[in-house]
Structure 1
Amino acid sequence: MPFAPLSILPRSVMGLAKEVAKALLRRPVVGVSAAARTSDGRWLLVRRGDTGTWGLPGGTLEWGETLRSCVVRELAEEAGVVGATVGRLVGVYSRPDRDIRFHAVTVLVTADIAEPTRKPVNPLEIREVRLFRDDELPSEIALGMTDLLAAARRGEGEPILE
């Protein structure tokens, strides 16, 4: 097995290596973020390990994955959410300066969720998970996504077509 030595590396190291590889490729990547909300109206945010700021959960679309399955996977990995229901497409955002790591084209979708029941898979990437009422939301959301969350809060969006 030629890749056996890689299997002993912690998941966090492998995740970091994957992010570096994307930056080296110098091509835009497709990212998916979730404006996720509980039935009582609280918004799910994650405290990022790299910046220490609160942000929308999400990540990059993997080969062979649909937007829906990516959102469900990322909510489980980053926030410990089980059984998310993906709602509408809020928008597609491509401003290159949003993320200093790489140029991401971010697809923002809504999701209805129950309260998280598990810890994040990678504690180096996600330090904390919290539900916020509208009046508790931080004034700035990580990676320049304050306007994305504002669009979701206004109810913008269309059904997702797959």
Structure 2
Amino acid sequence: MGAVEEWWASYHGKIRAALPDETLFLIGGRGVVRDDRGRLLLIKRADTGIWAFPAGGMEIGESMVDCAIRETYEETGLKAGQATPFALYTGPDHIYTNVFDHTYQHIILACLLTDVTGELNPDPEEATDAGFFHPDEFPNQSRTMQRTLADLEAFERTGRVQIS
């Protein structure tokens, strides 16, 4: 079964099939990995060709933190031992229509992932490329990257989770 078929068989796919034209909630996690040179891990999403932080929807039975760890592993081959939540995105400014013309209000927990092991090996069905970049060298970016970076900087300055 290919990635598209797997998605339609998933919880999110089944809900979308039942409510094809509705705005749905998508609850998930976003993983931010920083290497020892201060560069951040990005993936080039297979569905859009846009560079972004690893992220995706929660599965039944997992937490948002577990989701950020799992999605990062699935998309990059890198496994985090620790996750520190630093931002929660919930508001109406987080409503997006994707490339398939499906609209979602995202409820996403962004986590700084540390104690990372494994080899960078992107799953071609999820990401066509992956690498570490300095923020001033980011390639073609998703709409969430600058906000995520600003929230990580604010969290590291204040110790407070950023909520919007």
TM-score bracket, normalised by the shorter chain, equals 0.7 to 0.9
Q: Could you tell me how far 1:52 is from its partner in structure 2? A: 0.7
Match in the other structure for 2:111: 109
Contact 1:92/1:105 (8 A) holds in 2: yes
**Root mean square deviation of aligned Cα:** 2.6
Residue 40 of structure 1, aligned match among 37, 40, 43: 37
Deviations 1:16-64 (A, max 9, x none): 3245434343431202112221233110111011211101101111111
- Within 5 Å, give how 1:22-33 maps onto structure 2: 22-24=15-17, 25=19, 26=22, 27-33=24-30
* Structure-2 separation of matches of 1:147 and 1:135: 14
- Within 5 Å, give how 1:1-162 maps onto structure 2: 9-10=1-2, 12-17=3-8, 18=10, 20-24=13-17, 25=19, 26=22, 27-94=24-91, 95-100=93-98, 101-103=102-104, 104-112=106-114, 114=116, 117-121=119-123, 123-138=124-139, 141-155=141-155, 158=160
* Structure-2 separation of matches of 1:78 and 1:149: 20
* Structure-1 separation of matches of 2:52 and 2:97: 12
Distance 1:102 1:88, change over 3 A: same
Aligned length: 148
SS at match of 1:52: coil
Q: Structure 1: 5+ residue runs without aligned partners?
A: 1-8
Deviations 1:96-136 (A, max 9, x none): 43342331222222212547504233x13211111012331
Structure 1 window deviating more from structure 2 (94-103 vs 63-72): it is 94-103
TM-score for both structures, normalised by structure 1: 0.74
Structure 1 window deviating more from structure 2 (128-137 vs 90-99): it is 90-99
* Structure-2 separation of matches of 1:91 and 1:153: 14
Give 1 or 2: higher strand fraction. Answer: 2
Q: Could you tell me how far 1:142 is from its partner in structure 2? A: 1.4
Q: Structure 2: 5+ residue runs without aligned partners?
A: none
TM-score for both structures, normalised by structure 2: 0.74
Distance 1:130 1:52, change over 3 A: same
SS at match of 1:142: coil
